[in-house]
Copies of this chain bind each other. A is one copy, B any other.
Amino acid sequence: MPRAAKQATLSRQWELLRLLPKIGSGKSTSELRQMLSERGFEVTKRTVERDLLDLQEIFPLDCNDAGQPYGWRWLADSHVSLQGMELSEALSLGLLEDLLKQLVPPTFVEALKGRFAEAANKLAALPGNQYARWADLVRYFPPGLPFAAPQVPGRIFRSIQRGLLEQRQLAVAYQKAGADQPADLTLNPLALVQQGVRGYLIATTDKHPEPCPYLIRRFSAIEVLEAPSHRPANFTLDQFITDGGVQFGGGKRISLRATISKDLATVLRETPLGEDQNITRRSDTHHLSVTVIDSWQLHFWILSQSPVITVTHPEALRSAIASKLREALLQYDDNV
Q: Which residues of A contact B (CB under 8 A)?
A: 7, 9-11, 13-14, 17-23, 54-55, 57-59, 74, 78-93, 95-96, 99-100, 103-104, 108-112, 115, 119, 126, 130-131, 133, 135-145, 147-150, 158, 161-162, 164-165, 167, 177, 191-198, 215, 217-218, 236-238, 241, 248-249, 259, 266, 270-275, 292, 297-298, 300-301, 303-307, 310, 318, 321-322, 324-329, 331-333, 335-336
- List residues of chain B with CB within 8 A of the CB of A324: 306-307
| In the bound complex, CA of A138 to CA of B136 (Å) | 34
The minimal Cβ–Cβ distance linking A261 to chain B, given in whole angstroms, is 11
Most B-side CB within 10 Å, residue of A133, A136, A272, A307: A307
Kindly report how many copies of this chain are found in the complex they form together.
2
The minimal Cβ–Cβ distance linking A301 to chain B, given in whole angstroms, is 5
Please determine whether B310 and A332 come into contact, CB atoms closer than 8 angstroms.
yes
Which 9 A-B pairs rank lowest in CB-CB distance, beginning with the nearest?
A143-B196, A306-B328, A304-B304, A89-B111, A300-B304, A322-B332, A310-B331, A88-B161, A147-B271
Most B-side CB within 10 Å, residue of A23, A133, A137, A328: A328
| In the bound complex, CA of A333 to CA of B319 (Å) | 10
Please determine whether A193 and B82 come into contact, CB atoms closer than 8 angstroms.
no
Cβ-defined partner of A137 (8 Å) among B11, B87, B196, B237: B237
